[in-house]
């Protein structure tokens, strides 16, 4: 039995390694508040959401698979939350059973596994009955298969036969072993045997008359003898204990996977409920094949901002960069450039997680990965150290970057002078575009933006933070060529009440 609610053909390892750049993604795209909303106070759900979000699905079919399951979940919220509850009961219940999962003595492992399996069999029966009631009301391939497997594998006869074995493995009638001679003439190749006569015959034998064998009695009250005896029996039942431990592990693994993978959809339900409260509508985005060049969005909002401010407080942006792999955003400081960049990154990750996005419409080609290279404000120290750090970070990104990635740069290489920063950036951006990387670059460096506008007239889309006639900001970003000066003067004037350089 497999869960497979995140991918049609495989599971996502809940404990597997997370991409090295995941922490940067969370910080740079301000995914924290999004994850908090998905968690709804449950740390496990937050971690689940984080892992799924930073591991984008890279084919449109895989995205459709999740979108269908999420549609089911949005229709049948209560059933999905019940299913999730069973998985949680199993995982937490197992953890409460006393004893180590793997003990040195097979005897104690066998005893613990028996107890855990009894608990699991009860929960598997609950799973089965939930499926019997509701399976027909689900439409997605993923959920239908989940219920079908439960129906196929967890029939009553099978669950009862398992209970019979659990009873036998308490060895109330003693045990029979066959043993070979191993290294040092010590026992080896222990095999547990099922006595042909059910273990009754030999108990009636009178030891003194036994001519085919010799009997030995374990000395009473000797701790050493007791330990050696336990070790001997452990050799004999090791295989059965291993089979039970493995079954326990597998069923636990199933419940863990169910908790994890279903947890992602529960997180989506939580997020949707929070956004609804903020009067933020969501849309199911359209995923296009990598290389198709699609990228268009209307009414895109930064969900971190939406969740933080009163309803309606976040500005929406439109963008059509279809066929233009380079997007350069210039213009006034604090004019909404970073907000747009973040919301583009969020939307791309949410699209490729199979989620809804915070926009009226969103259509984009899938990318092999999303990477961020943002200026780090907290970096103190010498300028040379800063640039060095920026370059080291970029080098790590280049190491990891698939050729069809999305790379979001925010004021990168602004820690050196403009001429040098522009030169470094130019040398990096062009070969990335040539390789197929989609690059979105927020910069106030005119030398860079202007240089790119000249060298990439066809591949580039150039946007400016919009200004109203009186020098105010709308926080909207609209198409426009780079202008030679940044608008730091605006902020200076507002803060100091006089023009810059006066």
Partner 1 sequence: MPSAPADYHPPVTFRSLLFDDPDADLAVDRLAEPGCFGDIRLDQVVTAITAGREESKLAPFFRAPLRTRAAVTYRQDVFRDLGRPSILAALRAFAAGMRAMRADQHRARWAGHRLEEQRWMLAARLRYCAAVSGLSRDLATAQPAPASLALGRLAAYLDAEVTGGSFSALAADTARVAAGLATVTYRLEITGTRIRVGRWASPPPAGDGGAPEPDYGAEVRAAFERFRQGGAREFSFEIPTDDAMNPLEAELAERVARLYPDAFGALATYCAAHLDYLDETIVRLDRELAFCLAWLEHADRLAAAGLVMSLPEVTDSPTEASGRDLFDLALASARVREGATVVTNDLDVRPGERIVVISGPNQGGKTTFARTVGQVHYLASLGVPVPGRDVRVGLVDEIFTHFEREEDLRTLTSKLEDELLRIRMILETATPNSLVILNESFGSTSLEDALAIGRDVLGTVATHGPLCVFVTFLDELAAVGPGVVSMTSTVDPVDPAVRTFRVVRRPADGLAYADALARKHHLTEADIRARLGGRPA
Of 126-134, 180-188, 308-316, 445-453, which segment contacts partner 1 by CB under 8 A?
A: 180-188
Q: What is the sign, positive or negative, of the torsion defined by CA atoms of 371, 406, 473, 476?
A: negative
Residue 20 binds partner 1, judged by CB under 8 A: no
Contact window for partner 1 (CB under 8 A) among 30-38, 236-244, 308-316, 443-451: 236-244
The answer to whether residue 402 forms part of the interface with partner 1 (CB under 8 A) is yes
CA 251/CA 366 separation, integer angstroms: 35
Site membership for partner 1, residue 395 (CB under 8 A): yes
Confirm or reject binding of residue 231 to partner 1 (CB under 8 A): yes
Say how many residues touch partner 1, by CB under 8 A: 103
Restricting to residues 247-276, name those near partner 1 by CB under 8 A. Answer: 247, 249-251, 254
User: What does the block give as tokens for 125?
Assistant: 């029966």
- Residue 58 or 474: the one with the smaller Cβ distance to partner 1 is 58
| DSSP of 94-153 | HHHSSS-SS-SSHHHHHHHHHHHHHHHHHHHHHHHHHHHHHGGG--SHHHHHHHHHHHHH
Q: Are strands 317-320 and 295-300 parallel, antiparallel or unpaired?
A: antiparallel
* 167 scored as a contact of partner 1 (CB under 8 A): no
82 lines the binding site for partner 1 (CB under 8 A): no
Q: Which is nearer to partner 1, 13 or 481 (CB)?
A: 13
Rounded distance, CA 244 to CA 166, Å? Answer: 9
Query: Distance (Å, rounded) from C-alpha 14 to C-alpha 154?
Result: 25
Label residue 83 exposed, middle or buried (CB < 10 Å: 0-12, 13-18, 19+): buried
Task: Out of 215, 381, 458, 498, point to the residue binding partner 1 (CB under 8 A).
Answer: 215
* Closest residue by Cα to residue 109 from 169, 191, 177, 164: 169
* Sole window of 16-24, 130-138, 353-361, 431-439 interacting with partner 1 (rule: CB under 8 A): 431-439
Could you tell me which stretch among 77-85, 181-189, 316-324, 327-335 binds partner 1 (CB under 8 A)?
A: 181-189
Q: Of 22, 21, 28, 19, which Cα lies nearest the Cα of 304?
A: 28
Smallest distance, partner 1 to C-beta of residue 276, A:
39
Establish if 431 lies at the interface with partner 1 (CB under 8 A).
yes
Residue 109 binds partner 1 (CB under 8 A): yes
- Name the CA radius of gyration of the chain, rounded: 31
Q: Of 403 and 488, which CB lies nearer to partner 1 in the complex structure?
A: 403
Looking at 63-71, 99-107, 266-274, 372-380, which segment touches partner 1 (CB under 8 A)?
A: 99-107
Q: From the CB of 388, what's the least distance to partner 1, in Å?
A: 6
223 binds partner 1 (CB under 8 A): no
Burial (CB count within 10 angstroms: exposed 0-12, middle 13-18, buried 19+), residue 278: buried
Site for partner 1 in 357-376 (CB under 8 A): 368
Q: Which residue has the tokens 């023009």?
A: 499
Give the whole-angstrom CA distance, residue 57 versus residue 48: 15
Q: Nearest distance from residue 238's CB to partner 1, in Å?
A: 5
Segment 299-328, which members bind partner 1 (CB under 8 A)?
A: none
Residue 468 in contact with partner 1, rule: CB under 8 A: no
298 interacts with partner 1 by CB under 8 A: no
Question: Which one of 208-216, 347-355, 356-364, 456-464 is the stretch in contact with partner 1 (CB under 8 A)?
Answer: 208-216
148 Cβ contact partners less than 8 Å away, ≥ 6 residues apart: 135
């Amino acid at each position: 039995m497999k869960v497979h609610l995140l991918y049609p053909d495989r599971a996502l390892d809940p404990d597997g390694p997370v991409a090295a750049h995941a922490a940067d993604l969370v910080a740079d795209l301000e995914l924290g508040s999004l994850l908090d909303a998905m968690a709804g106070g449950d740390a496990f759900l937050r971690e689940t959401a984080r892992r799924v979000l930073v591991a984008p699905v890279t084919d449109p079919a895989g995205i459709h698979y999740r979108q269908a399951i999420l549609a089911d979940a949005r229709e049948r919220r209560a059933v999905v939350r019940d299913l999730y509850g069973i998985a949680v009961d199993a995982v937490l219940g197992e953890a409460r059973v006393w004893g180590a999962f793997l003990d040195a003595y097979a005897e104690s492992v066998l005893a613990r596994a028996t107890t855990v399996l009894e608990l699991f069999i009860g929960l598997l029966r609950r799973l089965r009955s939930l499926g019997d009631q509701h399976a027909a009301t689900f439409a997605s391939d993923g959920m239908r298969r989940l219920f079908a497997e439960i129906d196929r594998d967890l029939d009553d006869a099978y669950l009862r036969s398992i209970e019979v074995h659990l009873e036998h493995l308490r060895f109330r009638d003693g045990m029979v072993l066959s043993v070979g001679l191993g290294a040092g003439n010590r026992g080896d190749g222990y095999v547990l045997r099922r006595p042909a006569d059910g273990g009754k015959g030999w108990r009636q034998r009178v030891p003194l008359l036994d001519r085919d064998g010799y009997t030995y009695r374990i000395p009473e009250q000797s701790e050493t003898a007791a330990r050696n005896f336990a070790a001997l029996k452990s050799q004999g039942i090791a295989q059965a204990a291993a089979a039970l431990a493995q079954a326990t592990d597998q069923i636990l693994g199933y419940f863990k996977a169910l908790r994890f993978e279903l947890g992602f959809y529960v997180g989506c339900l939580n997020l949707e409920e929070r956004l609804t409260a903020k009067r933020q509508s969501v849309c199911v985005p359209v995923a296009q094949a990598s290389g198709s060049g699609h990228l268009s969005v209307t009414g895109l909002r930064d969900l971190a901002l939406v969740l933080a401010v009163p309803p309606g407080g976040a500005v929406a942006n439109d963008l059509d960069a279809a066929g233009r792999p380079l997007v350069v955003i210039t213009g006034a400081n604090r004019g909404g450039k970073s907000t747009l960049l973040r919301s583009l990154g969020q939307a791309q990750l949410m699209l490729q997680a199979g989620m809804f996005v915070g926009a009226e419409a969103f259509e984009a080609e899938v990318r092999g990965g999303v990477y961020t290279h943002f200026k780090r404000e907290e970096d103190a120290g010498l300028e040379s150290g800063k640039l060095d750090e920026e370059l080291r970070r970029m080098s790590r990104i280049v190491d990891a970057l698939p050729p069809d990635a999305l790379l979001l740069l925010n004021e990168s290489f602004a820690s050196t002078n403009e001429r040098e920063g522009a030169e470094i950036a130019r040398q990096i951006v062009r070969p990335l575009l040539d390789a197929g990387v989609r690059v979105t670059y927020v910069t106030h460096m005119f030398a860079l933006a202007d240089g790119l506008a000249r060298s990439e007239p066809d591949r580039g889309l150039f946007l400016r933070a919009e200004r109203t006639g009186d020098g105010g900001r709308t926080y909207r970003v609209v198409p426009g060529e780079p202008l030679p000066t940044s608008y730091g003067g605006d902020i200076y004037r507002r803060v100091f009440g006089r023009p810059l350089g006066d």
